[in-house]
């Protein structure tokens, strides 16, 4: 995400510090509800695609956060995973993932979070991600750095790709498409110290920003998966882009976020991957 020039063009006559606090409070509203309902889900249903679940907790979190944002920032549009978009005559838009990692949460696997990002003309400008099980709140704002709780974040500095630990994920359409990230996962598992699959993209991005992981790539994502985490990684000194090349486009569904020290190698290796042939496994 080469946004330096784009950010120079942004001249918002709004109080970003106030909006950061609103984003943080929104993420904590989600965190409180997720903690209270953990291992006590009342309903789970499919949204139509295999593995794409929604619970009563997703809906409760989204409603509470949406109502809070409508009250605090009535003129800013909202895009939420479960309820869609409210269109307003404003170039600012909140992007809400009420429960990132629904499948994890529904199984009692403690890797999940609540993510709220703010974009301006499709450029992420601030965001907050709560990770309840770790009691961590990741947040950041353009030109003001990013933080975990009150500790300033900085991405890791591995010497090379072979010494890095990466994380990725697999989109819900992986059962139908050959472009499903399986080949990339296997290829990079052999090129690094390992590749993890967290199951919650926003949390993956937060961990890259904190230096716990060295890089993340994924395809098939939605805007609410990317908006907050991309900005938090960028403000922690990371490289955020499309892959294997190109600037970040939050509408593309593809993102690469990593330490600058492995950016070139990681993009090169992703471009070398031989496409997966699903016929070999059917």
Q: Tell if the pTM clears 0.85, that is, is over it.
A: yes
Tally of domains within the chain = 2
Render pLDDT for 250-273 as a digit per residue (tens, 0 to 9).
999 999 999 999 999 999 999 999
Residue 129 sits in a domain whose CATH number is 3.30.540.10
Q: Are residues 252 and 131 in the same domain?
A: no
Lowest mean pLDDT among 18-22, 80-84, 227-231: 80-84
Strands 123-131 and 113-120: antiparallel
**The last residue of a domain, from among 152, 181, 201:** 152
Render pLDDT for 94-130 as a digit per residue (tens, 0 to 9).
999 999 999 999 999 999 999 999 999 999 999 999 9
Q: Are residues 134 and 177 in the same domain?
A: no
Query: Residue 175: pLDDT band by 50, 70, 90 thresholds?
Result: low
Q: Are residues 123 and 244 in the same domain?
A: no
Query: Residue 82: pLDDT band by 50, 70, 90 thresholds?
Result: confident
Q: Which two tokens stand for residue 240?
A: 């955020």
Render pLDDT for 206-239 as a digit per residue (tens, 0 to 9).
999 999 999 999 999 999 999 999 999 999 999 9
In a domain, 282, yes or no: no
Residue 1: predicted pLDDT:
46
Give residue 180's region: left, alpha or beta (phi > 0; psi -120 to 50): alpha
Residue 256: predicted pLDDT:
98
In a domain, 75, yes or no: yes
Q: Are residues 204 and 136 in the same domain?
A: no
Q: Are residues 190 and 234 in the same domain?
A: yes
Which structural domain, as residue segments, surrounds residue 26? 4-152
In a domain, 189, yes or no: yes
Q: Are residues 101 and 167 in the same domain?
A: no
């Amino acid at each position: 995400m080469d946004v330096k020039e784009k950010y120079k063009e942004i001249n918002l006559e709004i109080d970003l510090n106030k909006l950061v606090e609103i984003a943080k409070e929104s993420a904590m509203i989600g965190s409180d509800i997720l903690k209270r309902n953990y291992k006590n889900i009342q309903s789970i249903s499919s949204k139509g695609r295999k593995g794409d679940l929604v619970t009563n907790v997703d809906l409760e979190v989204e409603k509470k956060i949406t109502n809070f944002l409508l009250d605090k920032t009535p003129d800013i549009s909202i895009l939420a995973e479960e309820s869609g978009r409210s269109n307003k005559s404003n170039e600012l838009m909140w992007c809400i993932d009420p429960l990132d990692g629904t499948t994890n949460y529904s199984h009692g696997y403690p890797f999940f979070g609540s993510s709220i990002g703010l974009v301006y003309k499709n450029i992420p400008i601030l965001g907050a991600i709560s990770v309840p099980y770790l009691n961590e709140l990741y947040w950041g704002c353009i030109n003001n750095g990013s933080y975990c709780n009150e500790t300033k974040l900085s991405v890791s500095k591995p010497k090379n790709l072979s010494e890095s630990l990466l994380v990725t994920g697999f989109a819900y359409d992986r059962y139908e498409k050959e472009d499903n990230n399986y080949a990339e996962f296997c290829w990079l598992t052999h090129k690094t110290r390992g590749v993890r699959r967290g199951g919650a993209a926003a949390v993956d991005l937060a961990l890259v920003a904190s230096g716990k992981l060295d890089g993340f790539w994924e395809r098939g994502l939605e805007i609410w998966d990317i908006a907050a985490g991309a900005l938090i990684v960028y403000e922690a000194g990371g490289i955020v882009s499309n892959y294997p090349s190109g600037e970040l486009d939050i509408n593309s569904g593809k993102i690469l976020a990593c330490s600058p020290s492995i950016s070139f190698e990681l993009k090169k290796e992703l471009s070398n991957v031989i496409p997966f042939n699903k016929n070999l496994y059917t």
